[in-house]
């Protein structure tokens, strides 16, 4: 056994890798295509960049395709995102037509690949209309929803549902997101890649160099949130929590690290709000990082004393997993996917308001042993639940069950 997967055995053990090979043996040579709307920025791109090569290594003919759109298209899909996460957003019919036409304009380039595939995974709402546009499809099509759809704004969900209904199955990240749909629904939580630049061990010298390169003082405590500049991530709430904590820890610094996802037209406005709220405070570092700054984010997460993810809605929150893997407890918004990662008082704290976040930050800063102990539990929790190998196993299982049907029995040697 050679290749990338072999390297994971050192972390998860040989049995896990063996099982992946056995499951994949029943899928050898099948054509699988993943479709989303960006190659860079955000959790979906982060996961696909890892999952697709591993499927290839397991003998599956896996591809990753990206649909392209213009500004109006992304405005519409950002509206979907906001509405599905609960905001009351009215989307004019004219914008919906642009959305549908944009997806239609992508079909020519994708038609052969998609109609010939045995399995197609459509990620999030952006490429959803592809199914109706390609009626001669051969394979099974699955909608993979990464968004917190626990309380969607109904009129928009009704429209999205009309596009989802024709799919053969859906996958949600947690049970709270499952919706009444006329097909099988699977629950698969996302994962991180422990061998990626974002998550590998870094030596202290490199961490120090990166941190001081940003003008951050390693001799003083650091509070960090890594996130796209999106209102659901509540960066302004983090600034409020920082100010409250600073009353008790005067030398505290805040780092808000983010970048721009190419499919997010709102980030510029949110960044402006964040700059305004920071009020030119020299102890607040707002970092705009390119999409491939993985080692830098890794170093920031390793150097942080307090990691925040104060989201008000969160599909999963890979940033939470990433920090926990580095032995950090996370102070996270009591919402969506953060709830299945942050076990309150064990792997971090769940909070709602900036006051609560500040209270927990202060507690951890003054109880370093507890911080360390919770960080160790956090790392173990990720090892047990949120690594790429578990994610891959669940994807393979879904494919086996869709292609072989319920009646057939698959025996793994």
Residues in touch with ligand UDP (CB under 6 A) = 42-43, 46, 198, 226-228, 257-259, 289, 297, 316-319, 322
The residue sitting closest to ligand UDP, measured at its beta carbon, is: 43
Smallest separation, CB 258 to ligand UDP (Å): 4
Strand stretches in 112-164, DSSP E = 119-123, 140-144
In the complex with ligand UDP, the residue whose CB is nearer, 131 or 293, is 293
Smallest separation, CB 58 to ligand UDP (Å): 23
- Pairwise CA distance, residues 391 & 385, whole Å: 9
* 8: its two tokens: 């994971």
Do 228 and 259 meet the contact criterion of CB atoms below 8 Å apart? yes
Smallest separation, CB 260 to ligand UDP (Å): 8
In the complex with ligand UDP, the residue whose CB is nearer, 234 or 322, is 322
In the complex with ligand UDP, the residue whose CB is nearer, 38 or 106, is 38
Smallest separation, CB 154 to ligand UDP (Å): 23
Q: Which residues, 6+ apart, have CB-to-CB distance to 138 below 8 Å?
A: 115, 116, 117, 118
In the complex with ligand UDP, the residue whose CB is nearer, 147 or 361, is 147
Tell which residue, 59, 61, 60, 63, has the closest CA to residue 1.
59
Smallest separation, CB 234 to ligand UDP (Å): 12
In the complex with ligand UDP, the residue whose CB is nearer, 23 or 297, is 297
Smallest separation, CB 129 to ligand UDP (Å): 22
Dump the DSSP string for 247-258: TTSTT-EEEEEE
Q: Give residue for tokens 């929590």.
A: 241
In the complex with ligand UDP, the residue whose CB is nearer, 232 or 242, is 232
∠190-191-197 over CA atoms, to 5°? 140
* Pairing state between β 184-187 and 284-288: unpaired
Smallest separation, CB 60 to ligand UDP (Å): 24
- Pairwise CA distance, residues 377 & 344, whole Å: 12
In the complex with ligand UDP, the residue whose CB is nearer, 139 or 327, is 327
* 304: its two tokens: 């942080």
- Pairwise CA distance, residues 129 & 132, whole Å: 6
The C-alpha torsion from 238 through 177 and 47 to 99, rounded to 10°, is: -90
Burial class (CB in 10 A: 0-12, 13-18, 19+), 125: buried
R_g of the chain computed on alpha carbons:
21
In the complex with ligand UDP, the residue whose CB is nearer, 131 or 172, is 172
Smallest separation, CB 319 to ligand UDP (Å): 4
């Amino acid at each position: 056994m050679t290749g990338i997967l072999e390297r994971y055995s050192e972390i998860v053990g040989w049995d896990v890798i063996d099982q992946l090979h056995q499951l994949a043996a029943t899928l050898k040579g099948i054509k699988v295509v993943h479709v989303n709307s960006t190659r860079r920025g955000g959790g979906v791109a982060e996961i696909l960049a890892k999952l697709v090569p591993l499927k290839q290594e397991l003998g599956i003919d896996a591809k990753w395709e990206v649909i392209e759109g213009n500004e109006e298209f992304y405005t519409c899909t950002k509206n979907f995102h906001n509405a599905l996460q609960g905001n009351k957003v009215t989307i004019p019919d004219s914008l919906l037509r642009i959305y549908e036409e944009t997806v239609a304009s992508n079909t020519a380039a994708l038609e052969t690949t998609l109609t010939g595939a045995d399995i197609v995974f459509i990620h999030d709402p952006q490429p959803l209309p592809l199914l109706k546009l390609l009626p001669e499809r051969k394979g099974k099509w699955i909608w993979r929803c990464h968004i917190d759809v626990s309380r969607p704004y109904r009129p928009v969900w009704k429209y999205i549902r009309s596009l989802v209904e024709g799919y053969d199955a859906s996958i949600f990240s947690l049970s709270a997101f499952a919706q009444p749909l006329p097909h099988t629904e699977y629950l698969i939580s996302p994962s991180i890649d422990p061998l990626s630049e974002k998550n590998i061990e870094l030596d202290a010298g490199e961490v120090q160099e990166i941190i001081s390169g940003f003008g951050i003082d390693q001799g003083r405590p650091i509070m960090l949130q890594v996130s796209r500049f999106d209102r659901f991530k509540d960066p302004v709430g983090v600034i409020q929590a920082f100010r409250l904590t600073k009353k008790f820890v005067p030398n505290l610094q805040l780092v808000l690290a983010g970048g721009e996802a190419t499919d997010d037209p709102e980030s510029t406005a949110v960044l402006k709000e964040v700059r305004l709220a920071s009020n030119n405070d020299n102890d607040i570092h707002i970092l705009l990082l390119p999409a491939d700054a993985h080692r830098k984010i890794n170093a920031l997460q390793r150097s942080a004393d307090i990691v925040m993810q104060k989201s008000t809605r969160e599909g999963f929150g890979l940033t939470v997993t990433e920090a926990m893997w580095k032995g950090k407890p996370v102070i996270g918004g009591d919402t969506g996917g953060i709830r299945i990662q942050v076990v309150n008082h064990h792997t971090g704290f769940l909070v709602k308001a900036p006051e609560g976040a500040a209270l927990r930050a202060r507690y951890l800063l003054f109880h370093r042993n507890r911080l360390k102990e919770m960080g160790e539990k956090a790392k173990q929790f990720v090892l047990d639940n949120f690594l790429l190998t578990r994610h891959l196993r669940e994807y393979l299982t879904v494919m086996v069950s869709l292609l072989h049907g319920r009646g057939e029995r698959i025996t793994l040697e």
